[in-house]
Amino acid sequence: DIQMTQSPSSLSASVGDRVTITCRASQPISNYLHWYQQRPGKAPKLLIYTASTLQSGVPSRFSGSGSGTDFTLTISSLQPEDFATYFCQQSYNIPPWTFGQGTKVEMK
């Protein structure tokens, strides 16, 4: 199975900060990498698919990059509603599809 490792596991930031989260795959996955946001008590929400394509309705302060094994999610200017947990997910080849362990973005 492909292992996905996110870093950091948590971070503290302030409104307006630039935040970067990384996700590393245990083997190359091309661009079959997707990012989700999960607020407490809510279902995950798709932010970015195929590494860098912004889902419709998602603010442009969110961006994604990477290919192969290393990927990043960037929030250019953190807003109050962005304090949440972020997960990456790979969908390379047939299942099992796997998620990173999550990165919790907390208020400093």
Partner 1 sequence: EEQLVESGGRLVQTGGSLRLSCAASGFVFSDYDINWVRQAPGKGLEWVSYISTSGATIYYADAVKGRFTISRDNAKKSVYLQMRNLRQDDTAVYYCAKTGLYNWFDPWGKGTMVAVSS
Binding-site ranges for partner 1 (CB under 8 A) = 32, 34, 36, 42-46, 49-50, 55, 87, 89, 91, 94-102
Count other Cβ atoms within 10 Å, centred on residue 100: 25
Does residue 8 have a cis bond before it (omega within 30 degrees)? yes
With CA atoms as reference, report the closest residue to 106 among 35, 15, 23.
15
Q: How far is the CB of 33 from partner 1 (least distance, A)?
A: 9
Q: How far is the CB of 77 from partner 1 (least distance, A)?
A: 24
* Whether the Cβ atoms of residue 86 and residue 35 lie closer than 8 Å to each other: yes
Q: How far is the CB of 63 from partner 1 (least distance, A)?
A: 16
Q: How far is the CB of 76 from partner 1 (least distance, A)?
A: 22
Cβ proximity to partner 1, 71 vs 89, nearer residue: 89
Provide the pairing of β-strand 62-67 with 53-54.
Answer: unpaired
With CA atoms as reference, report the closest residue to 59 among 39, 44, 74.
74
Cβ proximity to partner 1, 19 vs 47, nearer residue: 47
Cβ proximity to partner 1, 14 vs 56, nearer residue: 56
Cβ proximity to partner 1, 11 vs 17, nearer residue: 11
Q: Which amino acid is at 101?
A: Q
